Amino acid sequence: MYSSGGSAGPSDEGGPGFSQPTLDSFGTPLREVTFCVVDLETTGLAADACGITEIGAVKVRGGEVVGEFSTLVNPGEPIDPRVTRLTGITDEMVADAPGIETVLPMFLEFAHGATLVAHNAGFDIGFLRHACELTDTRWPRPPVVDTVVLARRLTEKSEVPNRRLGTLARLFGSPVTPNHRALDDARATVTVLHGLIERASGHGVVTDAELSEFCRAIPSELQRRKRHLADGLPQGPGVYIFRDADDRALYIGVSVNVAARVRSYFSAAEQRRRLRDMLASAESVEVVECAHRLEAGVAELRLIAGGKPPYNRAAKFPEHRSWVRLTEEPYPRLQVSRKPPAPGTPRLGPTSGTQAQAAIGAIEAALPIRSCRTRLSPKRMSPTCVLGEIGRCAEPCRHTVTVEEYGALVERAVSAMTGDPGPIAAAVGERLAELSASERFEAAAERRDELGAYLDLAAASQRVRNFVAAGELVAAGRAKGGGWEVAVVRYGILAGAVRTPPRADPMPYIAKLRATARVVEPAADVLDAAHAAEARLLLDWLGRPEVRLVLVEGTWATPLDGAERMRGAVPRDPGTRRRPSPEW
C-alpha cells in the first residue's frame, strides 16, 4: 500500500463491475495510434471560395514514418500571384495535375483509420470537408489533433514568441524547415507533434482519448495547485483512493499505471465537474499496489462496494440489484426482489429491475402461474381475476388445482430459471405468431422483448452459476514485457494473484500461490450481487484470447440444453421495435 500526502485525484470512471468500463477502455496508447499529419496549399484563405493546389501528408506510428503522400492538384482556377510568391506553385505547375475529384479519394484512402493532425487544423480540415461537398464524397469524420492548440497548452512565451510552424519546428529541432510546400510542412509538423506528445505525457496524457480531452481546455487553478499529489506514485497496476482530511474515501479507481492515471486528473484532460468538485475536498491519495490488472480490477470492485465513496457511481450499490425468485407460500408466484435468495434456491440475476420484470413476463406468458399478489390459502377460496377468466392463470384462488398440481407448474418455472429455456421460448414464440397474424404488432414487440430479456438473463445467470460451482481453477495470461499474470479463483472469487518474472518457469510460482491463496467456503451459486459482479469480472478476463487455463479442480461446463445456446434466437419481426441489449 502506498500513500501520497496532500490532495487526491479521481480514478478511472466506473472501474470494473456491473456497467463500469474495462481497464482497456480509456483509449489507445499513443504509441499504438496512427497519425496522418497533413498540410495543404491553396489559392486563398476561404475554403468555400478557393481551391487546393497541393496535398502533402506523412503517416506515423510509434514515432516512425510508415508512409508519405504528396501531389499537386489542379484547382480549376488561376492562382493569385501573391500566393505563387509565397508557395512557389504556379499555374503551369498544376496545369497537368489531377483535379480534386481524383486526388481526394486517394488521400482519404491513405488516411483511412488514422487520426488527422495539422498545424492550424481548422484551415486544412475546412478545405478537405469542402472538397468532399463539391465531389459528393462522404467526410469520414476522423479524430483531429491541432498542433497549434497543443502548443498553446504545452509551450511558454519564454520559450517561443509565437506558435507558428517555423517557430515550433526550430524549438523541437526539426530536420526539415517549413517552406510553404505541403510535404515539407507536413514533415516539420511531425517533429512538432512528437515533441508536444512527449511534453503531454508529463501531464498524464498517454492515450488518444486523453490527448483529445487535453486539447479542449486548460487545467483549472485547483488542478494546478493540487498537481503535486500525483508525485512519486508507483507506476504499476493498482487501485488509487482519493481521501479527504478525515481520511474518508472520496473516489476509487483502477489503472495499469497508477502514476500516469492519477496525474491525468490534474491536467486539462480532466473536465468532469463532479471530479473537479471532488478534488476540492481531496487531501491525500492512497494506492493499493497489485500484481496485475485483474487483481487491481477485483480490488477496486470490492473497495467501491464496501466503502461507497460519494464520487463513484458504478458498482457502488450491488445490493440494489434485483433478482427473480419464487415466493415462499402454498401457491408461489414469481417476484422481483432485492434480497438475495437463499443459497440453493432457484433464481435469476442479479440484474436491473426492468430486465427482471421483463423476464418474469416471458415466463408468465408461457406458464399459467399466478401473478396476483394476494396471499392464497389452500383452505379457503379467494376472489378470481381476469387472467383466470381468459385462461392465463391456473386459478389456485378458486382451488381449481391442488397444491400438488400447482407445484408441477412451479417446477416448470424452476426449470425455466435453472435449466432448459426451450419450452418457454417455444410457448412465447407461438404467442408471437398469433399476435403477428392478428396484426397486433405492438403487443408482439412487448412479448418479443420479454423473451429476449429472459433468455439473456437466464444465460448470464447459468453461466455464472456454472463458473462458481466449478470450484478452484488456475489461469494465466501473457503479461506485456514477458512473464505470466496468474490468478487462483475459488468458487467465483479471486483467491490469489501473482506475476511471474520473464523467462522464469511459472509452475513453482503457481504452486506457491495455491498454497498461500485465500480459503473460500464452497458455494454452488453466487451468494449476492457483489459476488456475482466479481465472478463476472473474472469470467471476462478468462475469455481473453491471451489467457490460458492451467488447472480446473472441479467440473466447469455449460449444459447442452442451457440458455446459452438460445441467445440471439429471439425472432425479429419487421415493424416491431428492437429488443434491448442485456442489462446484466
Greater pLDDT, 474 or 16: 474
Q: Cell for 185? A: 510542412
Of 194, 205, 209, 201, nearest to 64 by C-alpha is: 194
User: Residue 491 has what pLDDT?
Assistant: 97
Domain ranges of the chain: 2-27+211-316, 30-201, 320-466, 471-554
User: Residue 16 has what pLDDT?
Assistant: 35
The whole-angstrom separation of Cα 390 and Cα 50 is 74
As a whole-number percent, the residues of the chain with pLDDT over 70 amount to 91
Label residue 197 by pLDDT band (50, 70, 90).
Answer: very high
User: Residue 459 has what pLDDT?
Assistant: 93
The whole-angstrom separation of Cα 376 and Cα 462 is 31
Compute how many other C-beta atoms are within 10 angstroms of the C-beta atom of residue 368: 19
Class of domain 2-27+211-316: alpha beta
pLDDT at 572 over 60: no
Question: Which one is catalytic: 119, 130, 180, 399?
Answer: 180
Residue whose grid cell is 381476469: 386
The whole-angstrom separation of Cα 220 and Cα 293 is 31
Of 319, 176, 195, 240, nearest to 4 by C-alpha is: 240
Q: Do the bridges between strand 472-478 and strand 484-490 make them parallel or antiparallel, or are there none, so unpaired? A: antiparallel
Query: DSSP for 520-540?
Result: ----SS--SHHHHHHHHHHHH
pLDDT digit string (tens) for 335-366? 999 999 988 899 999 999 999 999 999 999 99
pLDDT at 192 over 50: yes
Label residue 28 by pLDDT band (50, 70, 90).
Answer: confident
pTM of the prediction? 0.65
CA distances from 452 to 346, 459, 578 (A): 20, 11, 10
Rounded to a whole number, what is the largest CA-CA distance in the chain?
Answer: 104
Q: Cell for 262? A: 492519477
Of 44, 575, 532, 12, nearest to 272 by C-alpha is: 12
H-assigned helices in 202-272: 208-214, 221-225, 258-264
Rounded to 5°, the CA angle 563-566-569 comes to: 150
User: Residue 7 has what pLDDT?
Assistant: 33
CB 314 within 8 A of CB 14: yes
Gyration radius of the chain's alpha carbons: 31
Sheet architecture: strand order including 115-118 = 64-72, 52-61, 34-42, 115-118, 144-146
- Let me know if 399 is a catalytic residue: no
The whole-angstrom separation of Cα 546 and Cα 475 is 10
CATH architecture, domain defined by 30-201: 2-Layer Sandwich (3.30)
User: Residue 274 has what pLDDT?
Assistant: 84
User: Residue 26 has what pLDDT?
Assistant: 54
pLDDT at 4 over 60: no
User: Residue 271 has what pLDDT?
Assistant: 67
Backbone φ, ψ for residue 519 (5° rounding):
-80, 130
Q: Which of 219-223, 405-409, 535-539, 574-578 has the lowest mean pLDDT?
A: 574-578
